[in-house]
A and B are shown apart, each in its own frame.
Chain A
């Protein structure tokens, strides 16, 4: 598959093409991290993170590709790995404690929200993810999920979000009470 074909498919939200892309450049991208004092697992994490960034920017229509896909993803990997190395360096110094507390709080909140998302039905999960992460328009969401029109997508999104907000708020209060 050529670059323009891959990019076109990814912009349309084709997850199979993302898998194809992942496989295609796996060795190239992970090699960069491994040869810069990273482990195999770190290399894999960085590459996956970079691909997710590429996916989000492409699907939401925010990316105008002016270079080869591999060049673009490689530069994301480099930036992410540089950041990670900085983070590691900082962790080895005095900032360690405060960072850990902040991270812990963030992780806890993310965990609560994730539990609430899992309580939603599959359609609700998809709508909210497509809308808030993939950045799809209501028309695209209607197309992806087979809704009759954008109004249906809009109404469903509103109801799903309301339900999630309620679940999270209930969990937050419970958590505050327990703390």
Chain B
């Protein structure tokens, strides 16, 4: 082993204690070796420092959810537009009592249609309506869940007619839903069948509302990949905004005009905290409204 290899081995902590002792003894009796060692030590320290700086710079570029440097790509904005479009369509659709048929076959395709519509005798009655809208693009998908009592009223007005009409089960109305579509949601966003080939994955967020805990009035947690919202969320629409890029994901809740951070690592029940950062708020708002 030459001099430099010995120094390398010492600096990389590859020597055992006896080898170290021998090397230190050698250095003590050889000032030239001592000088070379000090030089090599400072060079290696410099290399280490450069690598540390490089790693820290890499970490500096990591987007922290709810932080000030949320990075919105064009794709994310487009996805936001899609979601808003889908939401507007739903709002329009369910206030038009003359077109119930397109809704019904989709509902029949859902895994648990009884969760959507529960007819009682001749009179169909909607007890609870949960409409889930999904809009997806290659890189981004967002999911919006609507829980709206106003919509319930409109649907309940049109459902008795629809329930009596056997045509709603016409197979031709189901064209385009050939079973390979994700039917786990009650309603797919309009146009979603036309972009079927482009959809890579469907959002995995399932949302549950729990209004039974007195202690948690505006809280959330993630449990087994499911988002649990605690509190009364029935008085207004709520939306979950999901931004995906590579393996990263940022989630936000939009409720009563405010955005709230959602950390999908949050396994304990945590109070929902409003997003205050102005830059982030403006970007979230743009992504949501498309303006």
Contacts and interface: CB of A to CB of B under 8 A. Distances in A.
Interface string A158-179: 0001001100110000000000
B49 A114 contact: yes
B4 to A, nearest CB: 8
A110 B59 contact: no
A51 B48 contact: no
B202 interface: no
Contacts of A55: 55
A144 B53 CA distance: 20
Contacts of A128: 47
Measured as residues with beta carbon below 8 angstroms from the partner, the interface class of chain B is: 20 to 34
B42 A109 contact: yes
B262 to A, nearest CB: 13
Contact of A129 (B42, B43, B50, B63): B50
Contacts of A117: 46-47, 50
Contacts of A51: 55, 59
Contacts of B39: 165, 168-169
A129 B11 CA distance: 14
Contact of A23 (B43, B47, B56, B64): B64
B247 interface: yes
B247 A20 contact: yes
B22 interface: no
Interface stretch (A77-85, A88-96, A130-138, A145-153): A130-138
A138 to B, nearest CB: 12
Interface string A14-31: 011011101110110000
Contacts of A132: 11-12, 44, 47-48, 51
Given A26-B64, A133-B52, A110 B46 contact: yes
Given A117-B46, A165-B43, A19 B62 contact: yes
Contact of B263 (A27, A110, A113, A169): A27
B58 interface: yes
Interface in B88-125: none
11 contacts: A15-B55, A19-B58, A19-B62, A22-B59, A22-B62, A48-B55, A52-B55, A109-B42, A129-B50, A129-B54, A132-B47
Top 5 A-B pairs, shortest CB-CB distance: A113-B46, A133-B51, A129-B51, A133-B48, A132-B47
